[in-house]
Chain A
Amino acid sequence: MKFTWFNLMPWPYLPDDFREQNRSVWVDIPSKLYDPKKGHFVYHQYMDQLEYAETLGFDGIGCNEHHQNGYGLMPSPNLIAAGLARRTSRAAICVIGNSIAGYNPPIRVAEEFAMLDVISGGRLVAGFPVGTPMDTNFCYGQIPALTRDKYKEAHDMIMKAWAEDEPFAFDGKYNQLRWVNCWPKPIQKPHPPVYIPGGGSIETWDFCLDYDYNYSYLSFYGYVRGKSLLEGYWDRVAKRGKDDSPYRAAFAQIICVADTDAEAEELYAEHCLYFFNRCLHVFPPFADPPGYRTVNTIKYGALSQLRLEAQKLMANLTWKQLVDERFIIAGSPETVRQQLEECIKGLRIGHLFCLLHTGNMPDWKTRHSTKLFAEKVMPHLRNLWPEWEDDDRWWIHPMEDRLHPEEMQPGAEKPGQVWPR
């Protein structure tokens, strides 16, 4: 198993009556709720936590892209990743990822991801989400019905830019570039591991299988609800005649660890409820513009009516519900270990994105939970897939002799330093 410590970076100062006073945490959230001076501390704290996770032995540290929202403060995850690349040297840097349909031209992503791979010594995991409709359509103005087509074209340009050794012309429907010539190129060959985060669009499965990319199911509704979707994915894997390596799939899970189940509630309940009640408070039409989801996906089950129901559910959630219905996995190390084993085996995943910071959880609690997880949970779950132990197709391949910039002092003398030969 590979464990990645993931921070969504929510804004922790949403007021108690946020839900009543505002229709959405995303797209049209009042910008007066953001305070840049507090933001200074928030960013540093969140980045410190990611770096802390590396010291505890997490395999990866992760960030992602969202716009105009109080749910996740990373319009540019690449900036965060660049900071992490300079203060870590072992963990994979998982950018899950850049919403490539919104970039013009998408070669920018090929370049920035290559920079990150080079700076980090080959530790980049490159995520290419279609992006939520809130981000890609409402904030970044992409036409919903054409988003997937544009996404596919952006993907083609980026992958070709990484693969080609000669400049080439790209005559796309949405992007025309006479000279594509990616400088720098990534360290990892043929390219960094590619992860495709999906929220439940069935078209994404075939896309992942066409290229043998990792499929990352990102949901906050927990593994019980995630099961039917992952089953659909694994059915598709079998139908396509691919091997069933668990490393083909990743899942994101909110996890809270304390010394006892009771302590977990005491420590984390308010922060998890903050997340579900405020950070997920999205005006339903922003989540479902016509054309974003194909008719096939809609028919597969996720009617927006049901999303409205989910919204109502969010308003009255209790800790007991969150735990009993497995939206979150919370409790003593033993409770968490048992439930996570069920989650990992049930979904058949080789990668777990561990959401150990949730909502407005303060730093000390985040570290407490993270440390307990690293010391008392993670070691017991390491070897759940012994038959796939050597399968590194979906993981990083860093340079052996990479630098350790986190150990360098900015003012230290480096006499006689010359360019490596």
Chain B
Amino acid sequence: MPGIQNIFVLIKQVPDQSAKAGINPDGTIDRAKAKRMLNPFDRYALQAALHTKKNYGGKVTAISMGPPAAVEVLLEALEHGVDKCYLLSDKRLAASDTLATAYALYKVIKYIGDFDLVFCGLQTTDGDTAQVGPQIAERLHLPQVTYCEDFKIEENKIIAKRVVEGGYEWVKMQIPGLITVANSYHPLEYKTLRGARMVQHLLRNEAQRANYIKTITLDDIGADPVKCGLKGSPTIVARTDKVSEIGGSCVIHQGLPTEQMVLDLLRDTKIPEFIKS
């Protein structure tokens, strides 16, 4: 049995929306000022890739597309035990929608070479579409399992538990394939001592860093610039409106004996209509 050789995981750097910095008064994000972090959903994808390596062998390659600062999330991935990283960074990628993003990432995957499994996060917190994974799978002609919350590999097939409405299902999929990992998967474990030490070392040694994190451009991967960035994006955000804060109209029951508050609530609302008779 050949076993697992190459595991790819796609991770993205996103603005940290819980930090106030870089959030404009109109609600949009000033990416230059915002705090940055690893997309929370991609932590599960990273864990799934690392589990695969631990249980079935192979090497984990983390791939990201973004501005040069995205190297931060790749360093974080190295701390967790990833073997190698690629960062696709190119000005011509600006304003990519999911179709253009998926095209560029597909070209990166083709450029890197053979793989058994590609793991993606379920979605990003800034794009928030859950589309990029399946769109890459389409370009690569791969089978896919989305919303995967657990899996095992047997006889070169992946048996995946997929969360669906009202329950879950088990799907058996041939390898190679693409998996998007649900946020009910195991949380990302601690950084490894080895990984953390290595990253410390790489931070001081730029020449060595290039061996672990390879930065590439559209020319390197032979991507058609017309299919990337603004030009390659069939959708645009034509306008954004701030959603006005609702509120101020809540009737608060407070400071009275429990029974009184409950009776007040029941008298003032239509809840009693819904009680089982």
Are A and B genuine complex partners?
no
Binding site for A on B (CB under 8 A): none
